[in-house]
């Protein structure tokens, strides 16, 4: 009788233990799933090369973020002191004749921006590359050929980055030593995970954006449309704004004074990516 009671007790303990373990597993599973959903929300906005990445601000210091040299750089995740609002103006796909117009507007407003250059365009306009650099703008690498399909593999992609890096160094000399890059079309999605890892291993620091004016959606879009997009997507205290200074983006240059005016009216100061 005593032995039977012990067996029943052991059986009950086993059942209780199993239920507890199962409950813990469920809690961990749903907690992980919830965090994955809320970690990064990607909103589709136009073509494949124009996504907007929205992530919540977290409490890490600016210095900690700046010291993250290689890998992904996400300044909009840095909680600013006192709710300070900072706008990073970024221009992709240049240089072109529009670059000169943009530089004049920036200089007039005493604002510096970050330009991600395509290597083959830099070869065509070396004087504009120098103008950007000596005006105090930050220059980043946007690959040599700007291939959007990523079908050639990670080694080819790194070679394309390195080729652009060599072009920029040939124009600017030892003064250029930046490792800041932007993926053509952005680094979003599981497909590009091997590319993100390879870029990090190669010592590059890559950045996407969390704001845009939508000039990637077509040629010479109305200024009114570009401003409307900006107002729609400027929702965080720190915004990295995607714009383009390619030759076909003439209305981007036309809209820039109003873009700056709007951001100032909303309390933003301006800074460059480093």
Are 141 and 5 members of one domain?
A: no
226 and 253, same domain (yes or no): yes
Q: Are residues 104 and 225 in the same domain?
A: yes
Quick one: tokens of 199? 């870029």
Q: Using CA atoms in the order 173, 180, 267, 269, what is the torsion angle rounded to 10 degrees?
A: -30
Token code pair at residue 120: 């083959």
In the predicted model, what is the mean pLDDT of residues 218-236?
97
Q: Based on the fold, state whether residues 188 and 162 are members of the same structural domain.
A: yes
Do 85 and 138 lie in a common domain?
yes
Sign, CA torsion 17/22/28/34: negative
User: Do residue 7 and residue 80 come from a single domain?
Assistant: no
With b meaning 16 or more CB within 10 Å and e meaning fewer, what string describes 245-267?
Answer: bbbebbbbbbbbeebbebbeeee
Give the pLDDT score at 141.
98
| Catalytic (active-site) positions | 92, 244
pTM metric for this prediction: 0.77
* Structure-token match 């209780």, residue found: 16
pLDDT per residue as tens digits for the range 124-148: 999 999 999 999 999 999 999 999 9
Lowest mean pLDDT among 16-20, 160-164, 267-271: 16-20
Whether 32 and 139 share a structural domain: no
Same domain, 250 and 191: yes
CATH of the domain at 103: 3.20.20.370
Instruction: Tell me which residue range forms the domain holding 22.
Output: 1-39
Q: What token pair was written down for 50?
A: 């124009």
Mean pLDDT of the chain: 83
**Tokens standing for residue 152:** 């050639």
Q: Number of folded domains in the chain?
A: 2
- pLDDT confidence of residue 80: 73
pLDDT in tens, 152-191: 899 999 999 999 999 999 999 988 999 999 999 999 999 9
CB-based contact 211:241 (threshold 8 Å): yes
**Residue 166 and residue 52 share a domain:** yes
Looking at the structure, do residues 26 and 109 belong to the same domain, yes or no? no
d(CA 260, CA 247): 21
Residue 112 pLDDT exceeds 90: yes
The answer to which of 16-20, 89-93, 106-110, 130-134 has the lowest mean pLDDT is 16-20
């Amino acid at each position: 009788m005593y032995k039977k009671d012990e067996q029943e007790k052991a059986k009950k303990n086993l059942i209780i233990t199993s239920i507890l373990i199962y409950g813990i597993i469920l809690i961990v599973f749903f907690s992980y799933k919830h965090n994955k959903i809320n970690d990064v929300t990607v909103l589709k906005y136009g073509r494949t090369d124009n996504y907007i990445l929205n992530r919540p601000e977290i409490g890490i210091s600016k210095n900690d973020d700046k010291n993250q040299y290689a890998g992904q750089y996400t300044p909009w995740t840095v909680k600013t002191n006192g709710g300070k609002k900072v706008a990073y103006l970024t221009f992709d796909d240049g240089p072109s004749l529009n670059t000169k117009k943009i530089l004049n507007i920036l200089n007039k407003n005493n604002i510096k921006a970050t330009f991600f250059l395509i290597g083959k365009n830099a070869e065509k306009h070396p004087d504009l590359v120098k103008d950007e650099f000596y005006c105090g703008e930050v220059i980043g690498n946007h690959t040599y050929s700007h291939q959007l399909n990523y079908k050639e593999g990670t080694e080819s992609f790194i070679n394309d980055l390195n080729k652009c890096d060599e072009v920029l160094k040939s124009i600017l000399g030892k003064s250029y030593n930046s490792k800041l890059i932007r993926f053509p079309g952005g680094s979003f999605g599981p497909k590009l995970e091997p590319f993100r890892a390879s870029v990090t291993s190669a010592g590059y620091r890559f950045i996407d954006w969390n704001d845009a004016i939508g000039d990637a959606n077509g040629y010479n879009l109305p200024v009114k449309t570009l401003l409307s997009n900006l107002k729609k997507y400027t929702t965080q205290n720190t915004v990295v704004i995607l714009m383009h200074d390619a030759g076909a983006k003439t209305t981007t240059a036309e809209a820039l004074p109003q873009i700056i005016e709007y951001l100032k009216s909303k309390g933003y100061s301006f800074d460059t990516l480093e």
